[in-house]
Amino acid sequence: MFAKVALAVVFSCYLIDHHIWTVGGGYIDPVVINALDNGPSFQNANHNISVVGDNFVLDGKVLKIISGSLHYFRLPSAYWRDRLRKLKAGGLNAVSTYVEWSYHEPEEGQYMFEGDRDVARFVQIAAEEGLHVLLRPGPYICAERDLGGLPYWLLGKYPNIKLRTVDKDFIDETKIWMTKLFTYLKPLLIGNGGPIILVQVENEYGSYGRDKEYMGSIRDIILDHIGNKALLYTTDGTDPQLFLSGSINGAVPTIDFGSYSNVTKVLNTFRRYFPHGPLMNSEFYSGWLTHWNETLQQTSGHHLVNTLRILLNNNFNVNFYMFFGGTNFEFTSGANYDRSYLPDITSYDYDAPLSEAGDPTDKYYLIRNTLAEYDPELRNIPLPVPSKKEAYGEVTLQSRGSILSTKGRKHLGKQYKDVTGSVLPTFESLRQRAGLLLYETIVNETDGELKITKPRDMVYVYVDGELQGSLYRGCKQYTLNLKCKPGSRLSLLVENQGRINYGNRIHDYKGILSTVKINNNVLGGKWFVTGYPLVFNGEEKSLSNDSDPRRGPVLFEGTFNVAVHGNILDTYLDTTGWGKGYVWINGYNLGRYWPSVGPQVTLYVPGVWLRQGINDILILELEDAPKEPIIQFIDVAILNRRGIMCKLP
C-alpha cells in the first residue's frame, strides 16, 4: 500500500553526506514504518518531513511519493482544480510543478502574480485536493519554454551575462527573484503548514555544467527562504557524470529516465555512488516533446506501466513527466538544438495520461489500474471521463491588410532608433521579448545573392514590398537569389520562433546576428528598425485593406457566435489550408500555427476564454492565406499530420 501522489517534475541530482534529513525540527529514529500516508492534512504548522534510511518520512510515517508533473502556466487557472482532481483520481498523491521566472517577471521589475499567474493559489488548490507539492523554482527550468524559463531581459540588460554560472549579475538577479517568489510561497512550505514537501535546486544541471560553486550558491539562495521547512532535492540523468555533476550536499539526489531504461542497471549504478537515501525517478517520462517539422512523439502505455511496476517493486518514488502537459500559449514555446535549430510546437500534449484538453486517455486508465494493484482503495474513486467538445463551425474572415503598410507600421509597429553600420540590434538589446523585427535599408546592388549566416530565426525577404523568399535557421537556409536594383528598399522581417531552452546554446539572442551581404558586399549603411511585439490593442482595425500576401504579413479579423445553454465547451481551431502565423481569440493568444510543416494542425481553445454571444478572432498570417479566408472550429484535436519543410542535415 502506498499513498497517492501528484505530479513531480525533477531535473537535478545532489550529493548527500548523511542518511537522515529532518525538516520542521526534531529527530526521527531511522526505523522502517509501514503505515503509509493517505494524503496531506494542512491544519497546523507542526509537520515534519525527513529522510530516514531509504525513505521519505512525513510526520512519522513513510511517504511513498507517486507524483505527476502539471505546470500551472500551461492552462487557464479556471481549470487548475479539474486537472489536479483528475491527477489524484489517477492514483497520485503529489503534484510537481516548475515555477517559471519569465512568466512572473516578463519585463524587469514588472511582477505578475494574479489570475493565471497566481502560483500560490495553485499550490493552495493542490492542498485542498489532498495533494503534496514538489516545487521546482529553478531559476532555470528548461520545460521546453522560451530560454528555459529565464526572462529574456537578462540578455538585454547584461549583454555579456553567463547564465547558470556564478556570474555576479546572474546570481544577484536570481536573489532578487527568489526573494520575491518566496514572499508568496514560504507560508505554503510543509513546515509552515502548507503542502510543499520538496523544493528542487536548479534543474538537471549535470547536463549543463560541473560547477559545484554555482550549485552551492543556488542551494544557499533557496535555503535562505525555506530554512528547515521543506527538503531540498536535485535530479539528473542516469549517467554518473550527470548525477554527480548536478548533485550538491544537503539536497536529496534523484534521477530521471523513461520506460525503456534498464531499471536494474540504473539502480545498481546509482547505488554505487549513493548507497543510502530514497530512490526517486523524478521524471518518469510518460511521453515526449515534439518539434515542428517532426512526427508526433508517442510512447507505449503498456510499456510504461510494466516499468512502473518494476520501479514500485524496487522501492522507487515516482514522478510522471508529464501527467498533464497542456499548451504553450502565446510566445512561450522554446526550442532545442540537435544538428539544427528545432522549435517546439504550441501543443504540449506530450502524449501524457491527461490530454492537452485534460481528458483521461488509455494511458491514464492503465496507470490507475496499475496503481490500484498496490492500493485497492483507489478503485472506490470515480473514474473521470473525457469532456465533450464543441464544433462551432466555420468563420469567414476579412482582411485588415498588411502590418507592413503605412497604417500597419503606425498602429502596430514600434519605431526604434535608426542604426548605421553592419551590426544590427537584437530583440534583447531593444527590449522586445517576442514577435517580429523589421530591418530595412536601401541597396546599391543589381540582383545577386543575399547571405545572412545567423538568422534568428525565420527571415522573410522583401524588395520594394515584394516577397522574394525566406531564410530559415532550422533548415540552415542562409542564402537567397535576389532581384533588386540600385535604390531598392530591402526589408528583412525576422520572426522569433522561441529561444533555445536546453543545452549549451541557451544564450540565444534573436534578430540578425551576422552581417547582411549581397554578392559578398556587406551592407553597412543606414538601417531603419521597426518592432512588432504583437500585443494588440484594437487599433489593428485601422489598417489599409491591401490583402495581397506578397505585400507582407496580413491581419485577418472575424467574429463567431457561441449560443449554448450551460457551460461553454472547449474546442479546436483547425488551421488546415493556412500557412503560418498566430491566432487571438477575445484577446487571448492561442500560439503559433504551422500546418504545412506539422505535425500540429489544430490549436486548443479553452472554453473559459469564450463567451456567450459574439466572439472575436484575429489571425496574423505570415505566409499564405487561403483564397477564401475561412477557418473552422472542430471538436477533435489534429496533432499528427506531418508536412515537410526541409530535411535536416
Contact 368, 375 (CB under 8 A): no
Long-range contacts of 381-384 (CB under 8 A, 24+ apart): 381/88, 381/89, 382/89, 383/89, 384/85, 384/86, 384/89, 384/360
Enumerate residues 6+ apart whose C-beta is below 8 A from 17: 249, 250
Exposure of 309 in the CB half-sphere (CA atoms within 13 A): 10
Rounded Cα–Cα distance for residues 526 and 164 (Å): 37
Contact 253, 15 (CB under 8 A): yes
Rounded Cα–Cα distance for residues 301 and 307 (Å): 10
The count of other CB atoms within 10 Å of the CB of residue 573 is 22
Is 129 marked active-site?
no
C-alpha cell at 23: 525538516
Is 283 marked active-site?
yes
Rounded Cα–Cα distance for residues 270 and 247 (Å): 12
**Alpha helices in 321-405, H assignment, sequence order:** 362-372
* 3-state secondary structure at position 558: strand
Q: Which of 144, 173, 202, 283 is catalytic?
A: 283
Residue with cell 514590398: 465
Contact 86, 354 (CB under 8 A): yes
Q: Which of 100, 129, 173, 204 is catalytic?
A: 204
**Alpha helices in 186-236, H assignment, sequence order:** 212-226
Angle between helices 168-185 and 119-128 (to 10 degrees): 40
Rounded Cα–Cα distance for residues 258 and 322 (Å): 11
Q: Are strands 279-285 and 252-258 parallel, antiparallel or unpaired?
A: parallel
The count of other CB atoms within 10 Å of the CB of residue 29 is 9
| Ordered strands of the 588-593 beta sheet | 398-402, 554-562, 613-621, 581-585, 588-593
C-alpha cell at 346: 504550441
Enumerate residues 6+ apart whose C-beta is below 8 A from 505: 337
- Which residues are annotated as catalytic? 204, 283
